[in-house]
Amino acid sequence: MSLFRTVGFVDPGPSIKGRGVYLRMPVMGDYAVWSSLREKSRDFLTPWEPIWPEDDLTRVAFRRRIRRYQQEIQDDQGYAFFMFREEDDRLLGGLALSNMRRGVAQACTLGYWMGEAHAGQGYMSAGVRALIPFVFDTLRLHRLEAACMPTNQASIRILERAGFKREGYARKYLSIAGRWEDHLLYAILDQDLRT
């Protein structure tokens, strides 16, 4: 995607505006606030995420993460964003588009995380809603998919309020906190926004 091929190592690229939030690509300068937010939210996040590597919150690991994000953008394989509160530029969480499939599928998968102090305040709903036009209008995809554990009621509400439709149930779909967990499968199509 030529819009992002020129993003440099310190250039956060264009931002995506939402209601009270904005999304932009992570840069090394985000390390301190990112690691602090993730550490403070560790107990809140770990039941919903894969096991964190031992070095996950180190500067070296973050640098690898940034390089991987940039490579994924260059290869049109993924797009990672940090979400900030518009009023004070505070980091709230992150969203990622992964598993990009071009050709006859024109689809990708949405994932997200929220810092514990900011959960339940509507920020992630605003971030997901802001990202949807980017997926369909900028990336020109046809389908945006998401999955969440049946016990994650907050995530179910976020997806359904954003217009995602439940499409199925995947047994032992992802390894979360070291266990294979069932997931509800959701998707929204470009045409859903036009009907």
Q: Where are the domains of the chain?
A: 14-193
13 pLDDT band (50/70/90 cuts)? low
CATH 3.40.630.30 fits 14-193, yes or no: yes
Distance CA 47, CA 110 (A): 18
Q: ∠ CA 141-133-181 to the nearest 5 degrees? A: 70
Average pLDDT over residues 100-108: 96
Q: Please, which pLDDT band fits residue 193 given cuts at 50, 70 and 90? A: confident
Q: How many CA atoms lie within 13 A of 74 on its CB side?
A: 10
The rounded percent of the chain whose pLDDT value lies above 70 is 92
- The model's pLDDT over 157-186, given as tens digits with 9 standing for 90+, comes to 999 999 999 999 999 999 999 999 999 999
User: Would the pTM count as exceeding 0.85?
Assistant: yes
State the residue for tokens 């294979």.
180
**pLDDT(7) > 60:** no
Q: Considering Cα of 2, then 4, then 7, then 13, what sign does the dihedral take?
A: positive
